[in-house]
């Protein structure tokens, strides 16, 4: 008489489980790690990432090597770019993103400069709590708009890229509304 043993039951279950996976190259983990990111504006915007900015861009995002070819400039928080240069880029309708722990400090130093107030007035001086690690600024008409992003810890590349895309979409919407 044939008895069903635990070993034969486990073997049958194992074969059934493996058969259902046959042909799959990887198991889907679900969530955002396996999905390719998609961007509404970032993947159609020429991006300059300065040396020292802690950001890696995927190949879908066009990166340029000269600031003059970029519509979005990603700078480290300790950039040596002065307020006059930042104002010039904003006047040229470029978007500036400062990335790092001192991003807001750099932005406020520019916003409080004579070069900035001569062009845009005394706007843009708000201080955020907690200090943002990404500050994105653009000119809309005769004013600037600024988005600030904070994360509980060091932001991932994906966090920063999503925030940049979100900012570009918001800037485009504000520009078309005015």
β-pair partners for 48: 73
pTM of the model: 0.78
What span, in angstroms and rounded, lies between the C-alpha atoms of 164 and 72? 9
- What does pLDDT average to over the chain? 85
pLDDT of residue 130: 81
Q: Bigger pLDDT: 27 or 86?
A: 86
What span, in angstroms and rounded, lies between the C-alpha atoms of 146 and 134? 10
Which residues make Cβ contacts (< 8 Å) with residue 4, sequence separation at least 6?
none
- Binned at pLDDT 50, 70 and 90, residue 161 comes out as very high
Residue 71 clears pLDDT 80, i.e. is over it: yes
Residue 23 clears pLDDT 90, i.e. is over it: no
- Binned at pLDDT 50, 70 and 90, residue 142 comes out as confident
Q: Bigger pLDDT: 63 or 28?
A: 63
**Domain ranges across the chain:** 38-177
């Amino acid at each position: 008489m044939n008895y069903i043993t635990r070993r034969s039951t486990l073997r049958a279950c194992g074969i059934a489980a493996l058969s259902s996976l046959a042909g799959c190259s990887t198991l889907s983990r679900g969530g955002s790690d396996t999905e390719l990111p998609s961007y509404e504006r970032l993947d159609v915007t020429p991006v300059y990432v300065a040396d020292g900015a802690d950001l890696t861009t995927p190949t879908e995002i066009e990166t340029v090597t000269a600031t003059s070819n970029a519509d979005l400039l990603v700078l480290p928080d300790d950039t040596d770019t002065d307020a006059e240069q930042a104002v010039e880029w904003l006047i040229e309708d470029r978007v500036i993103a400062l990335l790092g722990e001192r991003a807001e400090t750099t932005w406020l130093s520019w916003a409080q400069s004579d070069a900035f107030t001569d062009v845009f007035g005394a706007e843009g001086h708000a201080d955020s709590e907690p200090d943002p690690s990404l500050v994105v600024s653009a000119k809309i008409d005769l004013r600037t708009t600024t988005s600030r992003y904070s994360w509980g810890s060091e932001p991932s590349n994906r966090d920063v890229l999503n925030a940049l895309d979100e900012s570009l979409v918001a800037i485009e919407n504000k520009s078309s509304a005015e």
